[in-house]
Structure 1
Amino acid sequence: MTVVKVFVNYKESILNPEAQAIQQALGRLGYENITQLKVGKTFELTFSDELTRAEIVQEVNEISDRMLANYNMENYTYEIIELEGMS
């Protein structure tokens, strides 16, 4: 079984008011050394053993492009985790 964690964040040029509000609140609580805070989304996809790694990569990119991330505002990265002995 393979688990893929997809991380979606705003592009650098897009304002993220939620992150700004959290960072300001942290500053008021005394956490003043934080220079940047990002808020995003995380998706965890579990794939069966029937697909090859290349097929999984292709599907993750297609799913992320079509459904998980807004191309105009967001970027995504992902992490592939192979789980041995779990079926």
Structure 2
Amino acid sequence: MSIVTISPPLELAVPHYSARIYVTLRPSVLDPAGTAVQSGLAHMGYSNVGPVRIGKYIELTLEADSEEAASQQLDRMCDQLLANPVIENYRFELQTLATV
């Protein structure tokens, strides 16, 4: 009697990407938080600081078949949730993570 073992199929590794997303108000949009920070800095003696703009920084990882697919997903994420395209601009940096 012989025992036969069946190995599970090898799974192809799906690339993982790290994204850094920067969301900022459009230049035409007033930034009261930035104005308050600039004023606070001036009161602390930092009168050499020019206009201050406040934004958001987001980090996430995702799986995608290619860097182009990851970039397209990030564009949709930013347009639909992470940024308000009416008043905010965004940009992101994408980096491939090592697969194990």
Range of TM-score over shorter length? 0.7 to 0.9
**RMSD of the alignment, in Å?**
1.4
Within-5 A mapping of 1:4-43: 4-43=19-58
Q: Percent identity of the aligned residues?
A: 29
Which has a greater percent of helix? 1
SS at the partner of 1:25? helix
After TM superposition, the score normalised by the length of structure 2 is 0.77
Shift of 1:35: 1.1
The equivalent of 1:51 in structure 2 is 65
After TM superposition, the score normalised by the length of structure 1 is 0.88
**Gaps in structure 1 of 5+ consecutive residues:** none
1:11-36 Cα deviation digits (max 9, x unpaired): 00000101100010001111111112
Shift of 1:81: 2.2
**Gaps in structure 2 of 5+ consecutive residues:** 1-15
Which entry has the higher C-alpha Rg, 1 or 2? 2
Q: Which runs of 4+ in 1 moved over 2 A?
A: 81-85
